[in-house]
Amino acid sequence: RAKLNGRNQAFYYEASDEESYSASYRLERDFLSAIAQEDLYLVFQPIIDLKLGKICSAEALIRWHHHEHGLLAPDLFLPELHRSGYLPDLDIYVFEKAMAFITAHKAQLGDDFCLNINISGQGFSEPKLMEKIQHYYQYSSHLLSHLCIEITEQTIVDNVEATQKTIEQLHTMGVKVALDDFGTGYSSLSYINHFTFNILKIDRSFINNLIKGPNNTIILETIIQLSKSLGIKTVAEGIETQSQFNSLKQLNCDKGQGYYMVKPVTSKELAQLLIENKQFN
Ligand code: C2E
Ligand code: MG
Ligand code: MG
Ligand code: MG
């Protein structure tokens, strides 16, 4: 009989049907109580306007302070929530928390400031999320102009028509839509042509490889130029060094996000950073 050993192992645990039933049952139960007790919370990573060197947006990222396993990164529990069908519940939770942040800090937010949230493929086209957004649209639509929803290519692949329809509805309500992790899938170029994304987030792997030869620079430059001509803003993910920062600025990438500038912070710290209006070079 296999044993659960050490922290975080529980969610990778391969087991007999009976055992895995109880493991996933436990996670489901943990998830529901974690939501009820607010053990799940958002951290915020600022996104910098590379030209101005100022914070222009932020991405909300989920964390789980598990009562037994400690702090869990999303890569550990998202696959399990996916299997048990709980991602749409997480998405609603994240959406509500994000709207609470926007509501609380509205006065400090510049007109163009966006809070980005990651929404799963399962949750994106679910009526429940759209109903929540429609509710805001009806009663406080001005808040929605500060919201941007990040989806991945997988969401499109899973359901092309529903995704298209949802994106159009979001645009009608003033919500922006970003394509996350661009360049990690297969047919990305056709997607940016057929779907009306406001923002393209260039995957970290491209930024990592930036210094590893001239071809990478040419590819990046092409992505950035193509996006520009389609009216799509580009965000470089995972900027870790000064030289990556400088190169992306030179390539006219609009925005950047990464440990070199700021790691994800608490909502209080983000509010403080917005007040400070710090310069990033
Ligand atoms: P993502 O949406 O592409 O988010 C960016 C990830 O890169 C975050 O990891 C962030 O902490 C990390 N990152 C930022 N700057 C750097 C850097 O300079 N270097 C490196 N190595 N990493 C950097 P995180 O928070 O662990 O999230 C991982 C993934 O989990 C996210 O990738 C997203 O796909 C998913 N995720 C996170 N939060 C949520 C959520 O609230 N809902 C859903 N459905 N998915 C989420
Ligand atoms: Mg993201
Ligand atoms: Mg990403
Ligand atoms: Mg990712």
For the stretch 167-218, pLDDT in tens is: 999 999 999 999 999 988 776 677 777 889 999 999 999 998 877 778 889 9
The predicted model scores a pTM of 0.92
Residue 153 has pLDDT above 90, yes or no: yes
Q: Which residue's CA is the closest to the ligand 1 atom numbered 12? A: 238
Cα separation, 200 vs 182, whole angstroms: 7
- pLDDT, residue 25, reads 63
pLDDT of the residue at 11 = 46
pLDDT of the residue at 4: 37
CA dist list (Å): 30 to 68, 69, 80, 223, 272: 10, 11, 12, 42, 32
Tell me how far CA of residue 41 lies from CA of 1, 59, 139, 195, in angstroms: 35, 13, 25, 31
Measure 131 CA to ligand 2 centroid, in angstroms: 22
pLDDT over 90, % of the chain: 73
Secondary element (H or E) of residue 161: helix 160-172
User: What is the number of the ligand 1 atom nearest to the C-alpha of 181?
Assistant: 3
Average pLDDT, the chain: 89
- Tell me the best of 118, 151, 182, 245 to mutate to test the pocket of ligand 1, counting ligand atoms within 8 Å of each CB and taking the most: 118
Place of tokens 């590379």: 50
- 28-32, 33-37, 190-194, 265-269 — which is least confidently predicted? 190-194
Residue with CA nearest ligand 1 atom 42? 118
What confidence tier does 129 reach under pLDDT thresholds 50, 70, 90? very high
- The answer to whether the beta carbons of residues 235 and 256 sit under 8 Å apart is yes
Q: What is the pLDDT of residue 204?
A: 94
Identify the nearest ligand to the CA of 47 by its number: 1
The complex's ipTM works out to 0.98
* Long-range contacts formed by 219-225: CB under 8 A, 24+ apart: 220/248, 220/251, 220/253, 221/251, 223/182, 223/183, 224/251, 224/252, 224/253, 225/252
pLDDT in tens, 79-112: 989 998 999 999 999 999 999 999 999 999 999 9
Which residues have CB under 8 Å from 237's CB, separation 6+? 181, 201, 202, 203, 204, 207, 257, 258
Alpha-carbon Rg for the chain, nearest whole angstrom, is 19
Best of 42, 61, 93 to mutate for ligand 1, by most ligand atoms within 8 A of CB?
61
Q: What is the pLDDT of residue 2?
A: 34
Residues with CB under 6 A from ligand 1: 45, 61-62, 73-75, 78, 90-91, 94, 118-120, 150, 180-181, 204, 237-240, 257-259, 264
Closest residue by Cα to atom 20, ligand 1, is 238
